Structure 1
Amino acid sequence: MEVEHFSHPGHPLILINQVLECSCELVICSGCEGPIWGPCYSCTSCYFFLHKKCAELPREIKRRIHRRHPLHLLANPPYKGECDCDRCRKTCNSI
C-alpha cells in the first residue's frame, strides 16, 4: 500500500509489515523519533520512516479542555528551543 504524507511531500511512502533491519542500526521513526520494531511506512528514495500509527494520525484533533481551538499536527515545530506545555507544565525540546 502506498500513501502520500504531509510530512514528506513529493515522496510516496510504502507500507512495510515486517521488522526492519538496516545494517544493524536501529530504525527511527521520523515522526515521533521512537524505534521502529513493527509495521511502518518507508520512503524508497531516502532514509525516512514512520510508524504505521504515526502515519495514520489525524491532522486535526479537538479536545474537551480546548474546545474552541482544534490542535493541528505540524510537520515541523513552529519555534526553536524549549517550551512549556500549557497543560502539564513539562518542558518540551524542539530542534
Structure 2
Amino acid sequence: MANEDGISHYLHPQHRLAHVHIEGNFLCDGCKVVGHGVRFRCHACNFDLHEHCARCSSTISVPMHSDHLLTLHVLSQDNPRRCDVCRKTAIGLCYRCVPCGVDIHPLCTLVRPNGGSWVTVGKIVLKVINIAANIAGFPGLDLIADAIER
C-alpha cells in the first residue's frame, strides 16, 4: 500500500519505506542488485528497494518467456540461481518458471527489445540487436554480451 508516508512492504514489515532520491549507488535488499538514485528506503534500518522491486506483482508474463507465467520468489543465499537475462547471480527477489528452470531478476523483466531479430538463447528468447534496457538504477547491464556468451 502506498501513500505520502511511504509504503509497507512484506520484506521489511518493521517500518514503512520512504520514496527517496539519494545520489549514489545502493544495494537493493530485495533483489540484491546494485541500484542508483531513486528507491524506497527505511532510514532507520538502512534498507533499500528499487522502485520496481517494491511494487513487483506476485506473477507476471514476459515476452522473453511466454510459455508460462513467472512467479515471484525470495531465494536464499543457500539456494542461489542465475538470471537467464543478465546471467548474474540471483538471490533475494527473483521471478521463476519452475517447470522450465527459468529465473529472471525483477529488473531484468523490464528489458524491452527495440528492433532486431528474435534469437533463442537457452530457455528464453531475446532480441539481441538494439536492445533498449532503459532501466533506471541498473547500471552496467551488458545484456547482449552476457546472453551471447552462453
Which consecutive residues of structure 2, in runs of 5 or more, have no partner in the other structure? 83-99, 103-121, 124-150
Structure with greater proportional strand content:
2
User: Which of residues 5, 8, 12 is equivalent to 1:8?
Assistant: 12
The amino acid of 2:32's aligned partner reads: E
**TM-score scaled by length of structure 1:** 0.62
What SS is found at the alignment partner of 2:32?
Answer: coil
Which consecutive residues of structure 1, in runs of 5 or more, have no partner in the other structure? 21-25, 90-95
> 1:4-36: CA deviations, max 9, x gaps?
11211232100002324xxxxx52111222222
What's the % identity of the aligned pairs? Answer: 26
Q: For 2:11 and 2:51, how far apart are their aligned partners in 1? A: 14
The amino acid of 2:44's aligned partner reads: S
Aligned length: 80
- After superposition, the CA RMSD in angstroms is 2.8
Runs of 4+ in 1 over 4 A off after TM superposition: 82-85
Matched, 1:60 2:59: yes
What SS is found at the alignment partner of 1:45?
Answer: coil
Please give the residue correspondences for 1:1-95 in structure 2 after superposition, counting only pairs within 5 Å.
Answer: 1=4, 2-20=6-24, 26-62=25-61, 64-66=66-68, 70-74=69-73, 76-77=74-75, 80-82=78-80, 86-87=101-102, 88=122
**TM-score scaled by length of structure 2:** 0.43
